[in-house]
Amino acid sequence: GLFGVPELSCPEGFQEAQDKALQESEQLVQKACSTPPGPETVMIFDQLSDALCRVADLADFVKIAHPDFAFREAAEEACRNIGTVVEKLNTDVELCQSLRRLLADEIVMSSLDPETRRVAELFMFDFEISGIHLDEEKRKKAVNLNVRILDLCNEFLTGTHLPNKIDKHVLPEHIRYNFTAEGNYLQVAGLHADCPDDLVREAAYKIFLYPNAEQLSRLEELLASRNSLAQLVGYDTFAHRALQGTMAKDPETVRQFLEKLSDQLSKRTQKDFEMMTKMKIKLNPQNSKLMPWDHPYYSGALRAERYNIDPGLYCPFFSLGACMEGLNSLFSRLLGISLYAEQTQRGEVWSEDVRKLAVVHETEGLLGYIYCDFFQRPDKPHQDCHFTVRGGRLKENGEYQLPVVVLMLSLPHSTRGAPTLLSPGMMENLFHEMGHAMHSMLGRTRYQHVTGTRCPTDFAEVPSILMEYFANDYRVVNQFARHYKTGQPLPKNMVSRLCESKKVCAAADMQLQVFYAALDQIYHGKHPLKNTTTEILKETQEKVYGLPYVPNTAWQLRFSHLVGYGAKYYSYLMSRAVASMVWKQCFAQDPFDRAMGERYRREMLAHGGGKEPILMVQG
Q: Report pTM.
A: 0.92
How confident is the model over 176-221, as pLDDT tens digits?
999 999 999 999 999 999 999 999 999 999 999 999 999 999 999 9
Q: What's the pLDDT at 382?
A: 81
pLDDT tens digits, one per residue of 107-127: 999 999 999 999 999 999 999
**8 A C-beta contact, residue 453 and residue 608:** yes
Topology of domain 2-133 in CATH is Glutathione S-transferase Yfyf (Class Pi); Chain A, domain 2 (1.20.1050)
Q: Is the pLDDT of residue 311 over 90?
A: no
SS3 407: strand
Distance CA 113, CA 39 (A): 9
Report, as an integer, the average pLDDT of 299-308: 90
Q: Give the whole-angstrom CA distance, residue 91 versus residue 503.
A: 49
Asked whether residue 310 carries a pLDDT value surpassing 90, the answer given is no
> Each residue of 486-505: b (16+ CB within 10 Å) or e?
eeebbeeebbebbbebbebb
**In 321-340, which positions are buried (b, 16+ CB within 10 angstroms) versus exposed (e)?**
ebbbebbbebbbbbbbbebe
Domain positions in the chain: 2-133, 315-504
Would you give the DSSP letter of residue 586? I
Q: Please pick, among 348, 433, 461, 468, the residue that the annotation labels catalytic.
A: 433
Average pLDDT over the chain reads 96
Distance CA 135, CA 141 (A): 10
Contacts of 573 (CB under 8 A, 6+ apart): 257, 258, 261, 510, 513, 514, 517
453, 456, 458, 464: CA torsion to nearest 10: -10
Residue 352: active-site member: no
What pLDDT is stored for residue 308 in this prediction?
84
- Alpha carbon 573 to chain centroid distance? 13
DSSP state of 36: P
Domain covering 315-504: architecture:
Orthogonal Bundle (1.10)
- pLDDT over threshold 90, residue 602: yes
Residue 519 pLDDT more than 90? Answer: yes
How far from the centroid of its chain's Cα atoms is residue 484's Cα?
Answer: 31
pLDDT tens digit string along 124-178? 999 999 899 999 999 999 989 998 999 999 999 999 999 999 999 999 999 999 9
CA distance 447 to 102: 17
Rounded CA gap, 357 and 366, in Å? Answer: 11
The span from the CA of 619 to the CA of 603, in Å, is 5
Q: Determine the Cα angle at 51 with ends 462 and 567, to 5°.
A: 35
Cβ(461)–Cβ(571) below 8 Å: yes
Q: Is the Cβ–Cβ distance between 419 and 396 less than 8 Å?
A: no
At 476 the pLDDT is 96
Residue type, position 65, single letter: A
CA distances for 103 relative to 37, 134, 172, 200, 450, angstroms: 8, 19, 69, 61, 18
